[in-house]
Amino acid sequence: MGVISNNASKEASVLTRANHFIDGTWVPSESTETIEVTDAGRGEVMATVPSGTTADVDKAVAAARAAFDAWAGLDVAERVGYLKLAAEELARRQNAIAAVICREVGTPYATSNVVQVGLPQMTLSATAEIALDYRYTERIYNSLVVKKPIGVVAAITPWNYPLHQLVAKVAPALAAGCTIVAKPSEVAPLNAFALAEIFETIGLPRGVFNLVTGYGTTVGEAMVAHAGVDMVTFTGSTAAGRRIGAVAADTIKRVALELGGKSPLIALDDADPVAVATASAGACYLNSGQTCIALTRLIVPAARKAEYEAIAKAAAESVVVGDPFDPTSVIGPLVSDVQRDRVRAMITSGIDEGATLLTGGVEAPDGLDAGYYVRPTVFTDTTPDMRIVKEEIFGPVLVLQTYETEDEAIALANDSVYGLNAGVYSADVDRAIAVGLRLDSGQVQINDGAFNIHAPFGGVKQSGNGRELGVAGLEDFLETTALQLP
């Protein structure tokens, strides 16, 4: 097993992780193939992890199945006791894990600390309370309706908020009484090893949480297709979600999908442009734009186009891009060269399709040639058919769209295959809420309304079909049986 730094410094050595975590112990992979994990800020290999196989998945599923009856049979209070211990242990390791994510994802250290590690701690604790309060049985006329754990859960997660996304699945699944096989993103898997170590440290019963690393097309699909898996919970791209739905169909297992987005922020004509632009820059550029709920389309009144252009440009130019360990950096690099190149290609397509580049562009920010940095970018003079308006870019790129009427603003916002997040700004909160209710979106931020881990989180349309967090997040992992009583 490897070692995680106990401070926020950079480490020069390459960490080798050779084992999966299966049945409560560290098991060598069936394959000697490995996957390199890069330090996003430096563009160098920082670790290797196993490129797992179908045989590794079989072992992990067998362990999860064997552990299921005993785990499901525990009292919920005993199960959530482990979640509380995990939250405490995560808090003890907070700085070390934040440093790991700072390197493997490129999120600035302070943000890593608060969001990448702080949020999962809160989710563990909140889920414990929710699961304790939940009513698992209900009398409906002559029926006793019982909510039971669905079984063995395959959890497949992305790299952008990797520990948050993993914990948002693992915490409620464990609380519900499910056992888990988790596959983190091959791009940023190190934090998942840290979570497995936490479960090992707190003495979670063997087989209840299993970790297999590898590629989506091998390990991921083997998990999805496996007859021993009862449910797949997936966060990632819409393309992968579509494939997962198709593969899972053979075994008719439950599939919960949390997918991509292209989320709009509507500035109503009475909104304060400075407040909108500040919020928009925060919501678009957080984590270098690699945020599924990023508000990447700023929809503004045509009459105030020039004003919004000027302040959106200024807001983007005020975002300090730099080394994620430098406390002055607001955003760091993108996660990988692949992601940086994708984002640059999208910026090029915006220019080629005739949008006006207000600021940013394809060149690396000054002095940041190593690592995967991209300038905060703003486009205007866009049309709804442009790729930069329609497609998820997953980088620090904001596009401005203009409207003449409120109905047109709503139509532009809803003109997307996605529906994960949206925002509405107005001087009149009731007016913003009325517009928010007309948006096809799983979440709508009204003015500066904050992200809430107690509220259900998920998307509509091609942004997905599941709901994580809060009570709905627990219910995703429960199966319903009705006993008809005499």
Nearer to ligand NAD among residue 426 and residue 441 (C-beta) = 441
Mark residues 336-375: x for contact with ligand NAD by CB under 6 A, - for none.
----------------------------------------
Instruction: List alpha helices for 214-336, DSSP H.
Output: 221-225, 238-249, 273-285, 305-317
Token pair belonging to 137? 């049985």
- If binding means CB under 6 A, how many residues of this protein chain bind ligand NAD? 32
Report the site for ligand NAD in 138-157 (rule: CB under 6 A): 156-157
418 is an interface residue for ligand NAD by CB under 6 A: no
The CA-based angle 355-361-365, given to 5 degrees, is: 165
Residue 220 touching ligand NAD (CB under 6 A) = yes
465 binds ligand NAD (CB under 6 A): no
User: Does 185 help bind ligand NAD (rule: CB under 6 A)?
Assistant: yes
Q: Which stretch binds ligand NAD (CB under 6 A): 65-73, 104-112, 220-228, 269-277?
A: 220-228
* Residue 428: how many other CB atoms lie within 10 Å: 12
Q: Which stretch binds ligand NAD (CB under 6 A): 72-80, 239-247, 444-452, 477-485?
A: 239-247
Q: Is 295 in the site for ligand NAD (CB under 6 A)?
A: no
Q: Which of the stretches 45-53, 172-180, 253-261, 268-276 binds ligand NAD when contact is defined by CB under 6 A?
A: 253-261
Q: Does residue 304 belong to the site contacting ligand NAD (CB under 6 A)?
A: no
Distance CA 162, CA 235 (A): 10
Q: Please choose, from the candidates 225, 268, 267, the residue with its C-alpha nearest in 3D space to the C-alpha of residue 243.
A: 225
Binding flag, residue 50, ligand NAD (CB under 6 A): no
Nearer to ligand NAD, 273 or 442 (CB): 442
Binding residue (CB under 6 A) for ligand NAD from 111, 121, 160, 377? 160
Max CA distance (Å), the chain: 76
CB of 382 vs ligand NAD, minimal distance in Å: 20
123, 84 contact by CB (below 8 A): no
Q: Kindly tell me which of 329 and 421 has the beta carbon lying closer to ligand NAD.
A: 421
The verdict on 259 binding ligand NAD (CB under 6 A) reads: yes
**56 contributes a contact to ligand NAD by CB under 6 A:** no
423 by DSSP, 3-state: which? strand
Closest CA to 123 of 161, 78, 168, 79: 168
Say whether 287 sits in a helix, a strand or coil.
Answer: helix
Alpha-carbon 303 to chain mean position: 36
Least CB distance to ligand NAD at residue 27 (A): 20
Is 289 a residue that touches ligand NAD (CB under 6 A)? Answer: no
Task: In whole angstroms, give the CA distance from residue 372 to residue 339.
Answer: 8
d(CA 422, CA 413): 8
244 binds ligand NAD per the rule CB under 6 A? yes
Integer angstrom CA distances of residue 360 from 324, 351, 393, 394, 399: 19, 12, 14, 15, 12
Crossing angle between the packed helical segments 162-176 and 190-202, to the nearest 10 degrees: 40
Is 394 one of the binding residues for ligand NAD (CB under 6 A)? yes
* Whole-number Å distance between alpha carbons of 355 and 347: 10
Q: Which stretch binds ligand NAD (CB under 6 A): 22-30, 57-65, 67-75, 158-166?
A: 158-166
Least separation in angstroms between CB 232 and ligand NAD: 8
What residue type is assigned to position 452 of the chain?
Answer: N
Report if residue 183 touches ligand NAD, rule: CB under 6 A: yes
Catalytic residues: 258, 292
Nearer to ligand NAD, 249 or 483 (CB): 249
How do strand 231-235 and strand 152-156 relate by DSSP bridges?
parallel
Task: Verify binding: residue 334, ligand NAD, rule CB under 6 A.
Answer: no
Distance CA 470, CA 207 (A): 26
Cα angle for residues 50, 51, 57 (degrees, 5° grid)? 95
Q: Could you say whether residue 52 binds ligand NAD (CB under 6 A)? A: no
* From candidates 24, 52, 149, 158, binder to ligand NAD by CB under 6 A: 158
Helical residues (DSSP H) of 17-161, grouped into ranges: 54-73, 76-92, 94-104, 109-111, 119-133
Q: Which of 243, 342, 390, 438 binds ligand NAD (CB under 6 A)?
A: 243
By the criterion CB under 6 A, which residues form the site for ligand NAD? Answer: 156-160, 165, 183, 185-186, 215-217, 220-221, 224, 235-237, 240, 243-244, 258-261, 292, 392, 394, 420, 459, 463-464
